[in-house]
Chains A and B, each alone.
Chain A
Amino acid sequence: MMAKKVLHSLTLNGEQVDVATPSGATLLETLREDLRVLSSKRGCNQGVCGACTLLVDGKPVRACLTLTARCEGHEIQTVDGMGEDHVMATLQRHMVESGGVQCGFCTGGVLISARELLAEDPMPSREAVKTALSGNVCRCTGYRTIVDAVVGAAEELAQ
């Protein structure tokens, strides 16, 4: 017998979705296994790597540590559904151009954290960018190009 499924009603990237998911499922499991929304990645399932980061009510959250049941009535945003967001689109373009993307496994989480930073602090220093991204592990880039991208996007948005 499959683990008992529970029906939840979520708001995902502006749309209402009803999903049956195993009771006790994390948001990461529900998104990936039940909804096939795959932009949040399972890098550690322990809240450390940041690859699963998404926005709940505009705040970055670790999907691997968040119970789906707790998200009813809250606004969930994932990087694949944020292309219309001007700040996100600017960040994405700078990441593409600066070389901040290598394997890309960390990239979605990095962009979510950076999006939140720019909402709080539109002209962050390099130090502030590094602090904001310190929960997003990237094993490829050495971080320089990622920090460049976020600072570059902030400068462009400030113009």
Chain B
Amino acid sequence: MSLDQADPIFVGGTVGKSVAKPDNLEKVQGRAEYIADLYRPGMLHGAILASPHAHARINGYDLTDALDAPGVVAIITGDDVGDGRMGAFIKDEHAIAKGKVLYVGEPVAAVAARTEEEARQACRLIRVEYEELPAVLSPEAGLEPDAPILHEKLSEYIKVFDAGSEGNLCSRTELSEGDVDAAWADCDVIVEDEFTTQPQAHVSMEPCGALAEVDATGRVTLWSANQSVFRVQANVCESLGLPMSKLRSLTPRVGAGFGNKMEPHIQPITVALAMKAKRPVKLILSREEDFEMVRARHPYRVRMKTGAKADGTLVARDCEVLVDCGAFADDSPGVLGYSLLMCGGPYRIPNLRASGRLVYTNKLRFGAFRGFGNPQVLFAGEQQIDQIGDKLGLDPFEIRRRNMLQEGDQWFVGPRIGSNGLARCMDAVEEAAKGPRADGSPRNFGLSVTAHISGLLGTGAIVRMLEDGTISLNTGATDIGQGSDTVLAQICAEELKLPFDQVVVASPDTDGSPYNWGTTASRVTYTTGRAVKAAAGKVVEQAMDHAAEMLDCDVEDLELREGGRIGQRGSNTDVTFAEISGRAHWAVGGPLVGSETLVFDEPTHDPKRAIALGLPFPRIGVFSFAALGVDIDIDDTSGQVTVHEAWSAADVGRAINPRLVDVQLHGGFVQGLGYALYEEMVWDGARLANPSLMDYKVPTARDVPDAIHTFIIEDPDPTGPFGAKGAGEIGLNTVPGAIANAVAKATSARHTDLPLTGERVLDGMLGPDPSQD
């Protein structure tokens, strides 16, 4: 039987249908090409020498033995790169360590050789002369007055927003509305605690890698595992001092991202090696290097205080966070700013204050990871909502319903909320989870709700009608496996009233694709989808102009018909896209090309409403909403938590492809489950102690309960493409908070530290009853 039979073709509307992703075919046949699968003629293999020190000055290199080693063609160190620095928010990072090393595992030198093995062998022969410096291993230590300074030239670095950087303080953000200090007097109940969350590793199954090649004119072509060919281009060019026109960035299939492939990993090093070797170089990280060199989810310390009236109405919240930045700013200022924007949760809290500091430490950079700072503050906030409800005798649904933000309300500091399906998400969870378990035993139920944005930064689309009337769509958005190519083709096909299979999606290419900031922040369906819909609409307009001439009538009399035809209203006469496009290649008006670029157009901050200092995003987009209920079991002897059943509901505006939304909810839940219960990167002094899949456990099929129920709620957003909003992160945000609330219900003990390991939960069960304090 042919696999091609699985390739579905929909006529009569593809939006809302669970079209199978076309790339699934090559993936099940083992034919999909990821970065490690690419080879070029004369290609060398690269390997990296990592720093053994957390903080040290580099006083020199001795490359003699390494250069003599078998197969070695080129070696680069910090001496081979200029003083260019890269970074999304603060440009603080060289292509490779230069002058100093700032964490154990930081690339110090790289070798290109005939084989990977030879390159790795040669790395061991490189001698680096270090002068060790005292290291900063926590944000608290970094803020001490006599702390060693990581970035002596911090004040000179380029910053794209008002960061307030100083000493080891990378950035700070302060937001406030209302009068928090005065508001406590109006509160009948107040809860206050300090929470900590742990670093989590992304563990995309594909480790990071890159392949670079230099042509005869000196221009570079770079393939890499990435979430944005454009951020790759910007980072490589900034750090190596190349004009952007001298680097073409491409992408093969990507073995997932979750944030760790958004900003640079080893692309600049690979390019520098290829330039020096004058031959193509491929560099693929080992799993251990991927843990130690790339990035991870930020550990947070969150101090939070929330107050309410006796009827449950929330009055005030104060939230202060201290965030470990790691050695480089990367996406951290964005994560800090975003987590503070989200720290009130989807509630009306008239007096709200949030402040945070992001501190450089001698660890690998922390950066973007699905949730982007939201899960950390939500772990605190959603527990406090339950605590207030408990004190006032309001169940978790009731206390949340009384305080929920409504459509048309303003979010903290000002963005306006469009469509809001939160109430329906909660209804779905409450209805499905009500009553005892099937065997009659009571549930250990915990709830968490959340909102998440989609709409950050610039995006574009180019829709071209080929001569035969089929369509080429080019957006520059990297599909990292979640299915954006499929969703965007569905949007395009729907707007053109074409069958899905008549739209082909071009692979992102900085030479030919319109700008796309990246596959991140739940943004592609919403922002790029908007651009696609608008660009396709322009193609329809151009087709109408040609059709009017062909049919000798007014454009106003024409209509777009199913299957790529334009006809005169009230008559059967029509012309096909093939006829129109064939003609357009010869006729005045020209070939049909529609393009659109955009940035979300409503401001984040309303100065009349709130004070905002150091907020890196001027515009954040629309809000998706979600609710998660969990029913857990706790092993009496080990304290180990398992999820018995879970109900995950998300308002995604409109599910362009319901199955792909559903997989986001399942995948997000399971990644959140690992985060909530056991995943943790552990440092032994300055060294990561568990950089392997043996020692860092991620959920396997056996760790996942069967009874995870998902509910897709559709509250269409008027600005979204066919009403759609983002779905990529929202299924993860709620997991730690919901499980913590369930643990509190089951054991009467509140937990303020993640992950909720068996040991911690058991301690809580054996410890003093917190209601006594």
Query: Is residue B34 contacting chain A, with contact meaning CB distance below 8 A?
Result: yes
Partner of B39 from the list A36, A46, A80 (CB cut-off 8 Å) is A36
- Given contact pairs A44-B693, A133-B701, A142-B708, A101 touches B667 in the complex (Cβ within 8 A): no
Residues of A with C-beta under 8 A to B693: 43-44, 46, 48-49, 137
A97 to B256, CA, bound (A): 20
Interface centre among A1, A92, A102, A133 (most CB of B within 10 A): A102
Interface residues of B in 191-231 (CB under 8 A from A): 202-207
Which residues does chain A contribute within 8 Å of B30, judged by CB atoms? 38-40, 78-80, 107-108
CA–CA, A142 and B662, complex, Å? 10
A43 to B693, CA, bound (A): 10
Cα-based distance from A106 to B256 in the complex (angstroms) = 10
Residue of A nearest to B37 (CB): A38
Within 8 A of B (CB), among A68-109: 78-80, 83, 86, 89-93, 95-97, 99, 101-108
Interface string of B678-718 (1 = CB under 8 A from A): 00000000000000111000101110101010000000000
Please give, as numbers and ranges, the residues of chain B lying within 8 Å of A17 by CB-CB distance: none
Q: A61 interface residue, CB < 8 Å from B?
A: no
Q: Measured between alpha carbons, how far is A106 from B116 in the docked complex, in Å?
A: 23
Chain B residues with Cβ below 8 Å from A91 are 28
Give CA–CA (A79, B3) in the complex, Å.
14
Return A64 CB to nearest CB of chain B, in Å: 10
Question: When chains A and B are docked, how far (Å) is the Cα of A59 from the Cα of B206?
Answer: 24
Is B670's CB within 8 Å of the partner chain A? Answer: yes
**A49: nearest chain-B partner, CB-CB:** B693
Q: How far is A134 from B701 in the complex, measured between Cα atoms in Å?
A: 5
The verdict on B284 contacting chain A, using a C-beta distance below 8 Å, is yes
B24 touches which of A3, A101, A131 (Cβ 8 Å): A101
**Residues of B contacting A101 in the complex (Cβ-Cβ under 8 angstroms):** 21, 23-24, 27-28, 481
Q: Could you say which residues of chain A place their CB within 8 Å of the CB of B258?
A: 139
B117 on the A face (CB < 8 A)? yes
- The one of A33, A105, A130, A145 that contacts B255, using a Cβ cutoff of 8 Å: A105
Tell whether A140 pairs with B667 under 8 Å between CB atoms, given A101-B28, A146-B701: yes
A114 to chain B, nearest CB (A): 11
What is the CA–CA distance of A144 and B648 in the complex, to the nearest angstrom? 14
Give CA–CA (A97, B34) in the complex, Å: 22
Q: Mark A40-64, 1 if CB is under 8 A from B, else 0.
A: 1111111011010000000000000
With an 8 A cutoff between CB atoms, is A30 at the interface?
A: no
A101-125 residues with Cβ-Cβ distance < 8 A to B are 101-108, 111
Q: Does B404 contact A (CB under 8 A)?
A: no
Chain B: CB-nearest residue to A108: B30
**A139:B663 contact, CB within 8 angstroms:** no
Determine if A22 and B117 form an interchain contact, defined as CB atoms under 8 angstroms apart.
yes
B486 to A: closest C-beta gap in Å: 11
Quick one: closest B residue to A89, CB to CB? B1
Q: Which of B29, B253, B287 contacts A79 (CB 8 A)?
A: B29
Nearest CB of chain B from residue A147's CB, rounded to whole Å: 7
Given contacts A38-B33, A92-B3, contact A99 B206 (CB under 8 A): no
Given contacts A93-B1, A137-B205, whether A144 and B25 have CB atoms under 8 Å apart is no
Report the nearest B residue to A146, measured CB to CB. Answer: B701
Chain A residues, CB < 8 A from B255 = 41, 103-105
Q: Given the interface contacts A45-B286, A95-B28, A96-B20, does A103 sit within 8 Å of B701 by beta carbon?
A: no
The answer to whether A104 touches B481 (Cβ under 8 A) is: yes
Question: Is A10 on the interface with B (CB-CB < 8 A)?
Answer: no
State in angstroms the CA–CA spacing of A86 and B71 once bound together: 45
**B28 close to A96 (CB less than 8 A):** yes
Cα of A129 to Cα of B704 in the assembled complex, Å: 12
Kindly state whether residue B588 has any CB partner on chain A within 8 Å: no
Say yes or no: B659 contacts A99, CB within 8 Å.
Answer: yes
Would B206 and A46 count as touching, CB distance under 8 A? no
For B20, list chain A residues within 8 Å (CB).
96-97, 99
A107 touches B28 (CB 8 A): yes
Residues of A within 8 A of B31 (CB): 39, 80
Report A-chain residues with C-beta under 8 Å of the C-beta of B669.
142
Return A1 CB to nearest CB of chain B, in Å: 5
CA distance A130 to B287 in the complex (A): 24
- Say whether A42 contacts B36, CB under 8 Å: yes
Instruction: Decide if B23 touches A144 in the complex (CB within 8 Å).
Output: no
With the chains together, A41 CA to B666 CA distance in Å? 24
Q: Chain B nearest CB: distance from A155 CB in Å?
A: 16
- Is B408 an interface residue, CB under 8 A from the partner? no
B203 cross-chain contacts in A, Cβ below 8 A? 137, 139
Contact A145 B666 (CB under 8 A): yes
B702 and A45 form a contact (CB under 8 A): no
In the complex, whether A138 has a CB less than 8 A from a CB of chain B is: yes
Name the one of A44, A51, A99 contacting B660, with C-beta atoms under 8 angstroms: A99
Give the chain B neighbours of A105 by CB distance below 8 A: 34, 204-206, 255-256, 481
A residues less than 8 Å from B32 (CB atoms): 104
* Residue of A with least CB distance to B1: A89
Binding site for A on B (CB under 8 A): 1, 3, 5-6, 18, 20-21, 23-34, 36-37, 39, 70-71, 114-118, 202-207, 253-256, 258, 284, 286-287, 480-483, 659-660, 662-663, 665-671, 692-694, 698, 700-702, 704, 706, 708
A to B CB contacts below 8 Å, 19 in the list: A2-B114, A3-B118, A33-B116, A89-B3, A93-B3, A97-B6, A99-B660, A103-B206, A103-B256, A103-B481, A104-B253, A105-B204, A133-B701, A134-B700, A137-B700, A143-B670, A143-B701, A144-B704, A145-B663
Given A78-B30, A137-B693, A142-B668, 5 new contacts (CB under 8 A) = A41-B34, A48-B693, A102-B482, A103-B480, A104-B32
Give me the interface of A with B, judged by CB distance under 8 Å: 1-3, 22, 32-33, 36, 38-46, 48-49, 51, 78-80, 83, 86, 89-93, 95-97, 99, 101-108, 111, 126, 129-131, 133-147
